[in-house]
């Protein structure tokens, strides 16, 4: 079975703000677009516009309706992005019989060597987060690489050397950095907002963290929309616009 490094120089990963994520799927589509031509390319799709559509996606967003508990708080919709968490103790690596799955000592990123992968699916069975994807077209397992072909690409401007999902997020819900450095922006964000591990009871110590939704108390009067302007010729802007469109 594959051995883990005793330590890593960095722990690169993501911090995802569940309070900010709007479920727009921009991270999903940008991840698919980049990685279809990136390090783990191609990402196969079957019958994408027909019944039984299937394919390889490294990032998925699940949406849940959260009900108020015991009369506290308010009902709300929570969008939950899910991808590889690049665990410190990844079961997908230690269960791999060929060494295809491995964790890098330089940055802590978990990767798959396609030349060694035999498609046995042990890693997907071992991963409790459902982060492994079987590409049936080539018969190997694939997964999020944290966009290593972007974050180390010196041909890109420094501001663009972030995972594709982070660059695409319009709400700023995804943050990237070194979580082994307590002074990094992502580590400070986790400390300030009480970032948590996904399923910590499993003991895999995921690097990626989630910032929980914040409580919102409804205070003050309800907000009502202002009355519409009159559309007659003396009705301000709408009256002027009506006159222009009526010519």
Whether the per-residue pLDDT at 239 is higher than 90: the answer is no
Query: Is the pLDDT reported for residue 119 higher than 80?
Result: yes
Range of the domain at 90: 12-211
Rounded to an integer, the average pLDDT of 207-236 is 71
Distant-in-sequence, close-in-space partners of 164: CB < 8 Å, separation ≥ 6: 27, 30, 31, 33, 34, 35, 147, 150
SS percent in the chain: helix, strand, coil, step 5: 20, 20, 60
Q: Is residue 238 scored above 70 in pLDDT? A: no
Q: For residues 233 and 40, what is the distance between their CA atoms, to the nearest angstrom?
A: 62
DSSP state string for 101-112: EEE-TTT--EEE
pLDDT at 53: 82
Does residue 233 fall inside a structural domain?
no
Model pTM score: 0.83
**Residue 228 falls within a domain, yes or no?**
no
| Closest C-alpha to 79, from 129, 24, 118, 32 | 24
Is 7 inside any structural domain?
Answer: no
Q: Which residues contact 155 (CB under 8 A, 6 or more apart)?
A: none
**144 touches 59 (CB < 8 A):** yes
- Which of 22-36, 50-64, 79-93, 95-109 shows the lowest per-residue confidence on average (mean pLDDT)? 50-64
Q: Quick one: how far is CA 86 from the chain centroid?
A: 12
What tens digit of pLDDT does each residue of 63-103 get? 998 877 655 567 889 999 999 999 999 999 999 999 999 99
φ/ψ region of 165 (left if φ > 0, alpha if ψ in -120 to 50, else beta) reads alpha
Instruction: Determine the average pLDDT of the residues in 94-122.
Output: 96
Give the pLDDT score at 214.
84
Residue 140: which CATH number? 3.30.70.20
Kindly indicate the confidence band of residue 202, based on its pLDDT and cuts at 50, 70 and 90: very high
Residue 140 lies in a domain: yes
Domain count, the chain: 1
Give a yes or no: residue 227 inside a domain. no
Residue 6 domain flag:
no
pLDDT over 90 at 62, yes or no: yes
18 within some domain: yes
Residue 38: what pLDDT?
84
Look at residue 219 and tell me if it is in a domain: no
């Amino acid at each position: 079975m594959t051995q883990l490094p005793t330590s890593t120089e960095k722990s690169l990963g993501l911090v995802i703000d569940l309070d900010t994520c709007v479920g727009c799927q921009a991270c999903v589509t940008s991840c698919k677009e980049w990685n279809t031509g990136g390090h783990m390319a191609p990402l196969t799709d079957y019958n994408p516009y027909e019944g039984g559509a299937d394919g390889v996606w490294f990032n998925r967003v699940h949406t849940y309706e959260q009900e108020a508990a015991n009369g506290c708080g308010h009902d709300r919709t929570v969008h939950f992005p899910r991808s590889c968490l690049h665990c410190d103790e990844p079961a997908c690596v230690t269960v791999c019989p060929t060494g295809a799955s491995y964790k890098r000592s330089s940055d802590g990123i978990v990767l798959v060597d396609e030349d060694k992968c035999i498609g046995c699916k042990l890693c997907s069975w071992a991963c409790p987060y459902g982060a492994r994807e079987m590409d049936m077209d080539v018969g190997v397992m694939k997964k999020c690489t944290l966009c290593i072909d972007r974050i180390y690409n010196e041909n890109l401007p420094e501001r663009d050397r972030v995972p594709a999902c982070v660059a695409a997020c319009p709400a700023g819900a995804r943050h990237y950095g070194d979580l082994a450095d307590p002074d990094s922006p992502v580590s400070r964000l986790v400390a300030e907002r009480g970032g948590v591990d996904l399923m910590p009871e499993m003991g895999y110590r995921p690097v990626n963290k989630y910032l929980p939704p914040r409580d919102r108390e409804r205070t003050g009067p309800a907000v009502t929309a202002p009355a519409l302007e009159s559309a007659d010729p003396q009705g301000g802007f709408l009256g002027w616009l009506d006159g222009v469109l009526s010519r």
